Structure 1
Amino acid sequence: MEAVPGDEDGTASDGGLPRTSAALDGDSASIADARRLAVDFLTSARTEYALPVAERALEITQLVVSELVTNARKYAPGPVLLSLRIVGDTVEVAVWDSDPLLPTARTADPGRVGQHGLEIVSALAQDFQIRREAVGKRVTARIAYADESPGAGPYGAFW
């Protein structure tokens, strides 16, 4: 995995909000590396930018990153690009891969083993989009980074 900062200082040109990206290789360790990148990114947003990043957001973002990168590694040949950035009060997770086939979330089936990734991501994200690109596709999820309610469980009101 190779990290690619937004600008030389790792911030975006849109108001100095943090962003980062990484090219992931075919190595199975790239999923764990992507999860670590997400934690490091949100920890930096908390400590260096004083954003109120909740533990819940760290956990959900790791899960979303893991699901999206796993799907890209499993179904698309070639490189995978992971981008993380702060957009408003959310962390945006975007994963690009070279396969133009757009995935669809399957209907819920508790008896089905596997293939629940997009169900999970769409349930946890405030916003979820899949878009065909000139080459391949981009799957984007936005997750609130601050606690929505003080009494919510570790995953917010959803759980």
Structure 2
Amino acid sequence: MRAGYKLCADGSCIADARHHTLAFLDQAHREHQLLISTRARDLTQLVVSELVTNARKYAPGPVWMELRLTARSVEVVVRDTEPTLPTARAADPGRVGQHGLEIVKAVTERLLIETEPLGKRITASIALADPPHSESTAVSGAL
């Protein structure tokens, strides 16, 4: 299952991206009976927020988001027109802001950053199930 979205150029695109993400995950549950943990829903929204925020902040032009679902994970793909690849900065608890990529790296199973002919593509993979040591519960329906 996959869905793509061209996001608007104003500040509402971040909220729109989160809304699209929840609708996509709810559809996956309804149509494919996939159990998606509360943790996975929350982390997917967080990753979407961070990646779309960075794209809007640092890249001129449009932002595209694609969501892909497998039996084990959800992939968040964000494309923008800025060819410069982001890098996570060293941890600094005194720094205000600019922690987005650090956060994304910490909560994803895989993070891939690639240049494209007209910018870059960032792909983040989030597990649908909780890690074995987690006490979170899986949701069986839309929240």
2:130/2:136 contact within 8 Å kept: no
Please tell me whether the aligned partners of residues 77 and 122 of structure 2 are also in contact (alpha carbons under 8 angstroms): yes
8 Å CA contact 2:55, 2:80 repeated in 1: yes
Counterpart residue type for residue 35 of structure 1: R
Q: Residues of 1 paired with 2:31 and 2:113: CA distance?
A: 31
Q: Which runs of 5+ in 1 are unaligned?
A: 1-17, 155-159
Q: Return the offset for 1:28.
A: 0.6
Question: How far off is 1:108 after superposition?
Answer: 0.8
Corresponding residue of 1:108: 91
What do residues 9-40 of structure 1 show as CA deviations (whole Å, max 9, x unaligned)?
A: xxxxxxxxx11110012111110000011111
| 2-structure distance, mates of 1:152, 1:128 | 25
Between 1 and 2, higher relative CO (CA 8 Å, sep ≥ 6) is seen in 2
Q: Which amino acid aligns with 1:129?
A: L
- Cα deviation code 1:70-128 (max 9, x no counterpart): 00000000000000011341100000000100000001111100000000000000000
Distance (whole Å) between structure 2 residues aligned to residue 27 and residue 135 of structure 1:
21
Quick one: which amino acid aligns to residue 82 of structure 1? M
1:47 aligns with 2:30: yes
Q: How many residues align?
A: 137
Structure 1 position 38 matched with structure 2 position 21: yes
State the Cα RMSD in Å.
1.3
Q: What does 1:117-132 correspond to in 2, within 5 Å?
A: 117-132=100-115
In structure 2, stretches of 5+ residues that fail to align are: 138-143
Q: How many percent of aligned residue pairs carry the same amino acid?
A: 54
Separation in 1, partners of 2:108, 2:118: 25
